[in-house]
Amino acid sequence: MPSNQTRTIAKLAFTTAVGLFTLGSAQAATTLKLAHFAAESHPAHTAALQLKKNVESRTGGELKIELFPANQLGSPPDQLEQTTVGVIDMNLPTQGSLDKYEKAFATVMTPYAFTDYAHAHRVLDGPFHNWVAPRLEKKGLVLLSTWEYGFRNVTNSKRPINNPEDMKGLKLRTPPELQIIAALEATGASTTQIAFPELAAALNQGVVDGQENPISVIYHFKIFEVQKHMALTQHVYNSMTHVISQASWKKLTPAQQTILREESRSASQLMRKLITEQEAAEIAKITAAGVAVTRPDIAKFRAVMQPANDRVAAYAGKDNMKAFMDMLANK
């Protein structure tokens, strides 16, 4: 019969073994950093929170996600660049950011390419994803899924916009994406590129007359509070995309890769649902705040877009544009 001392030694050995096993398990956990530019109140962050919760739950904590919203890890271009080299694991860039790495993405933001959200989703989830994903992998990124952002609309402090002629002479802030610049300049507006964090000050100080963004951005970043007019021009559609660096992707097990891809698609569906459901309510709240909202005849805007389309085709490449136009027609 073992002595008390023997039993004590055995107990300590067992405890130590359990502790080492637990430590080893903890060390085996992988943490992925996900950076994005949306506000914490934006549907993109709500979708990211679901992604984090579900991935961590389904992997039993072996795969964790750390979220960095609202440009905490740098500007959107900086975030994406750091993701390509694996400093940041995952990012939610728009196609306008990705086209700096793969020109096929430039086609998505062709003015008035999509008839509605459903049309955009059919194209981007189907033939477009299959077309661009292999190309993007050559640039160091794995395309997990396409999320949402929305159709872009114009706000300004000068006058209501009902026709393209009403745009002439307006000085509008845009991001640096050529497609957006080309669309607005085709209507006779002038554009200037100002970093998003400086937009509120530029509007307040009259540096620009207005700007353009999806409804969710105009609402969640309170842009409407410093503008008198909003026109639902819907001139360009773009969406956030969920990408992970090749280096980070290769560190995951096949099971973890499957779970991450599945939950990325689930988060995409949530964000799309929230964006489309909330837009009408957000427009109503913007109107209630005193902003005059107009609904221009989109056909009149589409009719003046040929110069913009030519600029986008030259930038994206004519072969890319032809392939994209075929996708639009077939979906």
Is 242 within a domain? yes
Q: Is 162 left (phi over 0), alpha (psi -120 to 50) or beta?
A: alpha
pTM of the predicted protein model: 0.88
Model confidence over 34-44: pLDDT tens digits? 999 999 999 99
Are 193 and 172 in contact by the 8 Å Cβ rule? The answer is: no
What is the rounded distance in angstroms from the CA atom of residue 132 to the CA atom of residue 303?
29
Find, among 250, 248, 249, 218, the residue nearest to 231 by Cα: 218
Q: The CATH number of the domain where 51 resides is what?
A: 3.40.190.170
Query: Could you tell me the pLDDT band of residue 331, with boundaries at 50, 70 and 90?
Result: confident
Look at residue 8 and tell me if it is in a domain: no
Higher-confidence position of 154 and 28: 154
**How many structural domains compose the chain?**
1
Give 275's DSSP letter: H
pLDDT tens digits, one per residue of 202-241: 999 999 999 999 999 999 999 999 999 999 999 999 999 9
Does 5 fall in a domain? no
Contact, 99 vs 106, CB < 8 A?
A: yes
pLDDT band (50, 70, 90) for residue 28: confident
Percent with pLDDT over 70 in the chain: 92
Q: Is 22 part of a structural domain of the chain?
A: no
Average pLDDT of the chain is 92
Asked if residue 3 belongs to a domain, the reply is: no
Q: Is residue 1 part of a domain?
A: no
Residue pair 79/73 in contact by the 8 Å Cβ criterion: yes
Q: Tell me the residue type at 85.
A: V
pLDDT at residue 7 above 90? no
Residue with tokens 């962050």: 45
Q: Is residue 6 part of a domain?
A: no
- Domain extent, residue 39, equals 30-96+105-330
pLDDT confidence of residue 16: 36
